[in-house]
Chains A and B, each alone.
Chain A
Amino acid sequence: MPRCLTKYQGEMEYEEQAALDFPRGLFGFETETRFLTIEQPALRPLVFLQSLSTPELCFICLPVFVVDREYCLSLRTEDLEAVGLPADRPLAIGTDVLVLAIVRIEPGRAGTANLLAPVVVNRQNSKAIQAVSLNQKHTHQAALPAPCEESEPVCS
């Protein structure tokens, strides 16, 4: 099995079929075309989107439904076709496609998720794209619930 270096999980093995192909890269990272989605049971529902060519590049993501229960995918036909998805019928999120929102987390700022440009993975062919939603209600900084650290149990 191929191995890769990751930003958060050290070195790990992965299955070749798990590698995602982003023909256009991501916005601002147009040359990054191969990623892996990594889940850690302790950190569910987070999904790490790890670059296979740049170990220090890893996006932290959430499935869109975790951020917005009502999320409805609305993309341009050419974006859907770029990853081999049909444009003539509604897509079942989770079945046909995996849809992730990239999360932005930094100290002193409430976390936000990018619902304006979700990462859409065609589960049939492992092709993926980050595409701008046509739904004008989708924002690039959708609020996450505010953390309440006081109530967390202390683990050491």
Chain B
Amino acid sequence: MLVMQRREGESILIGDNVEIRILAINGSRVKVGIEAPRSIPVLAREVHLVRAENLAAAEVSSPAAAAMVARLFRPGPPEKSRQAYVPTDKPGE
């Protein structure tokens, strides 16, 4: 990884079209300004990870696999009933 030291107000150029500027430094937080063409997606890394994870989770999770996961935590005979989970103090009602 290329490591560069920058001060507040200084910039880094990536290629011809992307500029990253250090706008402010406050303790452990750094405010960064990014100028890039609209065609280049700019996302916080964790947002990118979570988005991809959500898409994968929605795509592949199957009832059979879910049942398998449920058994990891709660072995027991299957039951038939089902219910909407109402977030109250009595979720079983």
In the bound complex, do residue B82 and residue A12 qualify as a contact, i.e. CB atoms below 8 Å apart? yes
CA distance A120 to B85 in the complex (A): 15
Interface residues on B, range: 35 or more
Q: Is A90 an interface residue (CB 8 A)?
A: no
**B82 → A minimal CB distance (Å):** 5
In the bound complex, do residue A140 and residue B69 qualify as a contact, i.e. CB atoms below 8 Å apart? no
B contact face: mostly helix, strand, loop, or mixed: helix
In the bound complex, do residue B53 and residue A102 qualify as a contact, i.e. CB atoms below 8 Å apart? yes
In the bound complex, do residue A43 and residue B66 qualify as a contact, i.e. CB atoms below 8 Å apart? yes
In the bound complex, do residue B69 and residue A60 qualify as a contact, i.e. CB atoms below 8 Å apart? yes
Per-residue A-contact encoding for B52-79, CB less than 8 Å = 1, 0 else:
1111111011110111111111111111
In the bound complex, do residue B65 and residue A107 qualify as a contact, i.e. CB atoms below 8 Å apart? yes
Interface residues of B (CB under 8 A from A): 44, 46-47, 49-58, 60-63, 65-88, 91
Interface residues of A (CB under 8 A from B): 8-9, 12-15, 17-18, 26-29, 36-48, 57-60, 62, 66, 98, 102-107, 111, 114, 116-117, 121, 123, 126, 130, 132, 140-141, 144-145, 147, 149, 152, 155
